[in-house]
Structure 1
């Protein structure tokens, strides 16, 4: 039997090679894709967006950002200001947010407030399409102005034309001056 040890060794090499090649590479890729590994982080940052004429469109500041290469970026304490003719139009604040990989959408998570001139809007979980400056939520919403208070379930905002549409269960309390 010791005379034929090389036959056993060669057989083991062939079997091992066959097993290694038969392992499905896709299973390894799936495991890697499920890992949430950031490629960089930022602290106390500010980013601005300009239009095609070099005018300020929006500015985003936050305390922390964790960027992932292929999934949403996490942002802590975001403050986003939208501008019109280089003047602040809307200021949006939230507890946390996520930005899409293409940076064209932002989800403001948790308590969210929007300020527009003398109007303050308080809501939760607001979605903003950044390029069109369109905001949407299904959450309870309160609009506070010097004339009173309006509550609704859900709303959408067209920021560029300063239009707010309330969805349902709209109730208002106004004080005449």
Structure 2
């Protein structure tokens, strides 16, 4: 089933801004670590083991503004851990507010965990993933357990069950893929809908 995308007009810029925010945070860690001689970094990594991060931030908050000074993104995480060897950053309970031009209400994105793979621009959100979009006083909510944002392809996808709740009804499916620029949402299988008729 293919329908107009839940993500709206400026979705790619929002996903790009979110990925950029997390990438900037991770880059700060890498720059901080790069002053250290390679031999001492390797020795420290061997001592702490592969499961321990190379660096972390507690109470992290990232904000970005556009050229006119309007807030575009506000991303928070109580703890962000950087793993140099795998090129990943782990985020505890990431929360983001994404603002778009012409819309007074921000997008809200939240999950229990997040993992950014720096080499391929993928952000994986895990556990109680929830995207909320307000538009003209109406709320649309997408919920799933795992959601991947692939910034390089401009796609968002999951193979897990998905629920999309809008004022007029609820749509459920197993798996979905969205192409943000094209505003297309493809629901993969076991699609069910429950809708109220307008009176």
TM-score by length of structure 2 reads: 0.62
Q: Kindly name which structure, 1 or 2, has the bigger radius of gyration based on alpha carbons.
A: 1
Counting only pairs closer than 5 Å after superposition, residues 1-177 of structure 1 correspond to structure 2 as 32=46, 35-48=50-63, 58-71=73-86, 72-85=88-101, 87=103, 90-102=107-119, 104-117=121-134, 118-130=139-151, 133-160=154-181, 162-177=183-198
Q: Which runs of 4+ in 1 moved over 3 A?
A: 48-59, 81-84, 86-90, 130-133, 158-163
TM-score, normalised with respect to structure 1: 0.68
C-alpha distance in 1, partners of 2:174/2:132? Answer: 19
**Count of residue pairs the alignment pairs up:** 149
Structure 1 residue 70, shift from structure 2 partner: 2.6
- Give distance in 1, aligned partners of 2:110 and 2:154: 15
CA distance in 1, matches of 2:155, 2:71: 17
The answer to whether the Cα contact below 8 Å between 2:120 and 2:152 also exists between their aligned partners in 1 is: no
Give the C-alpha shift of residue 125 in structure 1.
Answer: 0.9
Name which structure has the greater RCO, CA cutoff 8 Å, separation 6+.
2
Alignment gaps of 5+ in structure 2: 1-41
Partner-residue secondary structure (3-state), 1:36: coil
* Residues 98, 106 of structure 1: 8 Å contact kept: yes
1: CA distance, partners of 2:52 / 2:76 = 23
